[in-house]
Chain A
């Protein structure tokens, strides 16, 4: 549950989700669930020339199991939050 807890703290932040089929989508994290399904708003495709049909997509739902990478905004990687999350998880909370 650690990733789930952590990703929840990224709501409203901009992330880039790269799918296993190489499609990479940047957008605002709208929501994430326990299966790491990710909903993005205000999306744009990193490689628009390769995926022109994605240019008109503004929000999307990405299945957790097809995610290869999630690129995080450096300013949102709070090691203290991660640390606390780890402790909570270790306590079974």
Chain B
């Protein structure tokens, strides 16, 4: 399986993109969309895959959009933050015994239907100076936070009205309004279990805070659904 990913003519290497936009001075040329260099770290070894095949020693650039690893004027690899599922400080374990940044990448959308890669796309960034690990980690955290998924933008505002009628929640809705609201929420929920409970709520013996609570549950549920999250209590 792993051998399929190492071909030099491939545009992808374990979720990394080939990066060739290097200036004559060896600096990566950044994109135009307000991309800025946040930090760079020299003498960093890139290793890819579960067996951590080393790609050589290069320079790691953390920008506001992506991380770029260049080993020469010929370029190297890059991956945008929105494809870095997680990154972590590893204190060194098989197969890489040195302290490193470990990251799991999502496959590029262009290779989503390519099932030749199984399992996570693991990469490791091994700085010769282990003392800068925390700095790399923190820079990556900071810049990752600048790159939310596009479909999550605006979530912090604008959706509230859809789920709440603020006055109803605070003052207590009339029976008709409650029934209508619950009916519409029911239709969104398509409850299989607990339908009777929702009907009872619609019968109208609720306190205002119960309406508030049910609205909260509805919103929790809906946010969870739209984001593909689920939350559970252990």
Contact = CB atoms under 8 A, between A and B. Distances in A.
A26 to B, nearest CB: 11
Given A35-B152, A86-B216, A90-B166, A60 B231 contact: no
A4 B227 CA distance: 14
The dominant DSSP class at the A interface is: mixed
A82 B217 CA distance: 10
A71 B234 contact: yes
B86 A60 contact: yes
B56 to A, nearest CB: 21
Interface string B134-174: 00010011001100110010001000100010100110000
B228 A43 contact: no
Contacts of B85: 19, 21, 62-63, 66
Given A2-B216, A21-B120, A67-B229, A16 B144 contact: no
A90 B219 CA distance: 11
Given A23-B120, A83-B212, A90-B166, A69 B232 contact: yes
Given A21-B120, A23-B120, A53-B122, A68 B229 contact: yes
Contacts of A59: 88-89, 137
Nearest to A17: B86
B88 A43 contact: yes
A6 to B, nearest CB: 9
Interface residues of B, number: 49
Nearest to B159: A1
B144 A61 contact: yes
A37 to B, nearest CB: 6
B144 A57 contact: no
Given A35-B152, A63-B85, A92 B160 contact: yes
Given A3-B223, A21-B104, A83-B213, A63 B144 contact: yes
B114 to A, nearest CB: 16
B102 interface: yes
A90 B152 contact: no
Contacts of A43: 88
A61 B234 contact: no
A20 B137 CA distance: 22
B72 interface: no
21 contacts: A21-B120, A23-B86, A35-B145, A53-B50, A53-B90, A53-B93, A54-B102, A57-B90, A58-B89, A59-B89, A61-B88, A63-B84, A66-B85, A67-B229, A68-B228, A70-B232, A86-B219, A90-B160, A90-B164, A90-B170, A90-B212
Given A54-B88, A64-B152, A70-B232, 17 more contacts: A2-B223, A21-B104, A33-B145, A43-B88, A52-B94, A53-B95, A56-B91, A56-B93, A57-B102, A63-B84, A64-B148, A64-B149, A65-B152, A65-B227, A66-B85, A66-B106, A72-B231
